[in-house]
Amino acid sequence: MADSADLAGEIIETSLASALSRTKLPSTVATDPWCEECGEEIPQARRLAAPWATTCIGCQSLRERRGKHAAR
């Protein structure tokens, strides 16, 4: 017999699976290996992990920080 913790875990797992199935990743693949912000080459590992990326990690981090700052 399942206890409350088991049932809660199942509910959380189902909810998470549902949310992940609704998440849409960009379907386009960036064809340019160069960062559109700084012009440096986007590392191969980043291009493999996020083929839609048009910026290097450093420039993307700056974009995100600016976006969070502007939202305040």
How long is the chain? 72
At 70 the pLDDT is 58
Q: Are 47 and 30 in contact (CB under 8 A)?
A: yes
> Average pLDDT of each block of 10 consecutive residues along the chain (72 residues)?
84 89 78 94 94 94 83 52
Q: What are phi and psi of 48, to 5 degrees?
A: -75, -40
